[in-house]
C-alpha cells in the first residue's frame, strides 16, 4: 500500500487573517463574481482555510440575503474562523479601502470635473456605463428567466417602474409573492441554482473541513442571538439619535441614514438591483445628485476595489457636498462625513445578518429552502435593471432632452462597448480605461470647436 503524506493546515492567527483581508480589500476588483472566485481560489484551493462544501454552503446563505454577497461571504468566513472579531475585521477591511479611495475620487470629481481633461474622460465613460448596465440585465436575465412565468414577472416589473412609477420596495414584495405562488404551481422551475464559482474536488485537509465540528462561537445560542440583535439595533439607534439631535430629523444627513437603511434591506440581486431605488430617491426625490453624476459615480465604483454597492458612498459624498451639510466653507468635510454616514447605514445590516443568521445556517447545513421568492425577485430585477439602462441611455444619447439632438459619438461608442464586453469578453476595468482615453480625445476636440 502506498501512503501519501497530506500536508497539515496550521491554525490561522487573527493577525494572519488580518493581512489577508486587508490585501483582499485592495485587490477585490471584478464585481461579486470575480471577488467570490478570488476568495475561492485563495481560501479553498491555495490556503485551505475552508473546504469546498463549507464555502458553498456559506455562499448559498449570502446569496439569499439582501446586501453585497461577496462582502457578506468574507464576513461569514472571518466570523467562522475567529468569531465576531474575525467577522468585523473581514467585512470591514473589504469595504474600508474602497471608501477611502471613493472619497478621494469624489473630491477630485467635484473639485476638478469642470476641467477639459476630466470632462473629456467622463464624456467617454458614460456610454460604457450604459453598456455595462444593459449587459448586466442580459446576464442576469439569461441565467434567471428559464420559464415564461419568470419572463412575465420581469416584464411586469419593467412596466411597473417605467410607466406607473411603482416604488422599488413594492415591486420586490410583489415579485416575492409571485415567486412563492409560482413555486406551488411549477416547483421545477424554482429548483435550479446558479453560483459564481464552480464546485471543485473539495479540500479534505482544510482548516474548516467538510466534517469539522462547528466552532463553539458559531453554535446557536438564544442568549448570544439576543445580545447580537440588541447590539445591532443599539448601534443603529445610537447613530440615528446622534444625527437626529445634532442636525435635526429633516437634515440631509439624517435623511441619508433613513434612506440607505431601507436601501440596505432591499438589495436582493446585487448592486445593480438597488441602483434604480437609489436613483428614485437620491436623484429624483432628494436631489442629492443628478442623473449624470449618478452615471459618473457608477463608473468610479466599477474602477475601484470592493463591492459595487460602494457607489452609495459616492452618492453620499456628492449629496453632502451639494447640500453643504457642514456649511459652504467645509464642503470636503461635509462630503466625507456624508459618505461615512451612508456607508455605515448601508453595511450595518449586512454584518447583522451574518452574525445573527450564521449559527442557524451552520446548524442546518444542506437544508436550504425559501429560494422561490428570491427567484421571483431576481426575475423582477431584470426588468428593473433594463429600465435603469434605458434611463441612463436617454441621458447619454439625448443630453438636451429626448426632443434634442442625438449624440452620435455616444451611440457609436456605446455599441462598441457592448461588442467589447459581450463578444470579446473584455473586463469592465479595461473597457472603462479605453473609454476614458477615447473620450478624452473626443471631448477635447468637441470642447475646442
Rounded mean pLDDT, 388-397 = 84
* DSSP letters for 34-67: HHHHHHIIIIIIIS-SB-HHHHHHHHHHHHHSSS
d(CA 246, CA 240): 10
Rounded mean pLDDT, 337-354 = 96
Query: 56 or 389, which is more confident?
Result: 389
Closest Cα partner for 48 from 184, 203, 171, 251? Answer: 203
SS3 430: helix
The pLDDT assigned to 383 comes to 87
The pLDDT assigned to 65 comes to 80
The pLDDT assigned to 75 comes to 96
Query: 5 or 112, which is more confident?
Result: 112
CB burial class (10 A; 0-12, 13-18, 19+) of residue 288? buried
The pLDDT assigned to 308 comes to 82
What is the residue whose three cell numbers read 459581450?
Answer: 422
Rounded mean pLDDT, 108-118 = 79
pLDDT digits (tens, 9 = 90+) for 252-291: 999 999 999 999 987 665 666 778 888 889 998 999 999 8
What angle (nearest 5°) sits at the alpha carbon of residue 340, between those of residues 384 and 349?
55
Rounded mean pLDDT, 319-323 = 96
Rounded mean pLDDT, 331-347 = 97
Closest Cα partner for 97 from 302, 296, 306, 339? Answer: 306
pLDDT of 238 over the 90 cut: yes
CA of residue 59 relative to chain centroid, distance:
15
Closest Cα partner for 79 from 22, 17, 16, 11? Answer: 17
pLDDT-derived band at 447, boundaries 50, 70, 90: low
- Helix 69-112 vs helix 14-27: crossing angle, to nearest 10: 50
What is the residue whose three cell numbers read 436601501?
Answer: 263
d(CA 380, CA 236): 30
Rounded mean pLDDT, 114-126 = 76
The pLDDT assigned to 60 comes to 67
Rounded mean pLDDT, 39-67 = 82
Q: What is the pTM of this model?
A: 0.77
The pLDDT assigned to 270 comes to 63
* Mean pLDDT over each residue of the chain, to the nearest integer: 84
Q: What is the CA radius of gyration of the chain?
A: 22
The residues, any chain, with a CB within 8 Å of residue 346's CB and separated by 6 or more, are 260, 261, 263, 264, 309, 312
| Under 8 Å between Cβ of 314 and 107 | no
pLDDT-derived band at 5, boundaries 50, 70, 90: very low
- Residue 30 is classified by DSSP as S
pLDDT of 169 over the 80 cut: no
Worst-scoring range by mean pLDDT, 16-25, 131-140, 207-216, 367-376? Answer: 367-376
Rounded mean pLDDT, 383-402 = 83
Share above pLDDT 70 across residues of the chain, in percent, rounded to a whole number: 87
pLDDT digits (tens, 9 = 90+) for 178-228: 988 988 888 877 765 444 444 444 444 678 887 788 888 888 889 999 999
Query: 336 or 422, which is more confident?
Result: 336
d(CA 276, CA 385): 7
pLDDT-derived band at 344, boundaries 50, 70, 90: very high
Share above pLDDT 90 across residues of the chain, in percent, rounded to a whole number: 40
The pLDDT assigned to 218 comes to 86
| Under 8 Å between Cβ of 281 and 411 | no
The pLDDT assigned to 443 comes to 61
pLDDT-derived band at 307, boundaries 50, 70, 90: confident
CA of residue 408 relative to chain centroid, distance:
32
- Residue 50's DSSP bridge partners are 208
The pLDDT assigned to 275 comes to 82
* Per-residue H/E/C for 73-128: HHHHHHHHHHHHHHHHHHHHHHHHHHHHHHHHHHHHHHHHCCCHHHHHHHHHHHHH
pLDDT of 235 over the 70 cut: yes
| Under 8 Å between Cβ of 350 and 236 | no
The residues, any chain, with a CB within 8 Å of residue 387's CB and separated by 6 or more, are 158, 161, 162, 276
Amino acid at each position: 500500500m502506498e501512503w501519501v503524506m497530506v500536508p497539515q493546515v496550521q491554525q490561522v492567527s487573527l493577525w494572519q487573517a488580518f493581512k489577508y483581508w486587508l490585501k483582499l480589500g485592495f485587490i477585490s476588483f471584478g464585481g461579486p463574481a470575480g471577488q467570490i472566485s478570488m476568495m475561492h481560489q485563495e481560501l479553498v484551493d491555495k490556503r485551505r482555510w475552508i473546504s469546498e462544501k463549507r464555502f458553498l454552503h456559506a455562499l448559498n446563505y449570502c446569496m439569499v440575503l439582501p446586501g453585497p454577497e461577496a462582502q457578506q461571504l468574507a464576513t461569514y468566513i472571518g466570523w467562522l474562523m475567529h468569531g465576531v472579531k474575525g467577522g468585523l475585521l473581514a467585512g470591514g477591511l473589504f469595504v474600508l479601502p474602497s471608501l477611502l479611495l471613493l472619497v478621494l475620487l469624489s473630491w477630485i470629481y467635484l473639485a476638478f470635473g469642470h476641467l477639459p481633461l476630466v470632462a473629456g474622460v467622463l464624456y467617454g465613460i458614460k456610454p460604457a456605463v450604459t453598456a455595462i448596465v444593459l449587459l448586466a440585465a442580459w446576464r442576469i436575465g439569461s441565467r434567471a428567466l428559464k420559464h415564461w412565468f419568470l419572463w412575465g414577472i420581469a416584464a411586469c416589473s419593467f412596466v411597473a417602474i417605467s410607466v406607473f412609477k411603482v416604488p422599488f420596495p413594492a415591486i420586490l414584495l410583489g415579485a416575492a409573492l409571485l415567486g412563492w405562488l409560482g413555486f406551488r404551481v411549477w416547483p421545477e422551475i424554482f429548483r435550479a441554482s446558479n453560483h459564481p464559482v464552480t464546485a471543485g474536488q473539495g479540500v479534505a485537509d482544510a482548516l474548516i473541513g467538510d466534517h469539522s465540528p462547528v466552532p463553539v462561537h458559531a453554535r446557536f445560542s438564544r442568549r448570544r442571538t439576543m445580545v447580537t440583535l440588541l447590539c445591532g439595533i443599539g448601534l443603529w439607534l445610537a447613530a440615528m439619535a446622534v444625527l437626529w439631535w445634532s442636525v435635526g430629523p429633516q437634515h440631509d444627513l439624517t435623511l441619508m441614514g433613513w434612506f440607505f437603511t431601507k436601501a440596505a434591506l432591499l438589495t436582493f440581486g446585487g448592486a445593480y438591483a438597488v441602483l434604480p431605488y437609489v436613483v428614485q430617491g437620491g436623484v429624483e426625490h432628494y436631489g442629492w445628485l443628478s442623473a449624470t453624476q449618478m452615471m459618473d459615480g457608477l463608473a468610479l465604483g466599477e474602477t475601484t476595489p470592493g463591492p459595487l454597492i460602494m457607489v452609495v458612498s459616492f452618492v453620499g459624498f456628492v449629496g453632502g457636498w451639494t447640500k453643504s451639510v457642514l456649511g459652504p466653507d467645509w464642503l470636503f468635510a461635509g462630503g466625507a462625513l456624508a459618505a461615512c454616514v451612508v456607508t455605515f447605514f448601508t453595511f450595518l445590516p449586512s454584518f447583522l445578518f451574518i452574525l445573527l443568521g450564521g449559527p442557524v445556517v451552520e446548524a442546518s447545513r444542506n437544508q436550504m429552502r425559501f429560494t422561490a421568492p428570491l427567484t421571483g425577485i431576481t426575475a423582477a430585477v431584470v426588468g428593473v435593471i433594463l429600465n435603469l439602462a434605458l434611463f441612463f441611455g436617454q441621458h447619454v444619447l439625448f443630453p438636451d432632452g429626448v426632443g434634442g439632438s442625438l449624440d452620435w459619438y455616444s451611440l457609436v461608442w456605446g455599441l462598441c462597448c457592448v461588442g467589447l464586453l459581450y463578444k470579446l469578453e473584455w473586463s469592465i476595468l479595461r473597457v472603462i480605461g479605453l473609454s476614458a482615453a477615447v473620450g478624452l480625445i473626443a471631448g477635447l476636440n468637441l470642447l475646442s470647436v
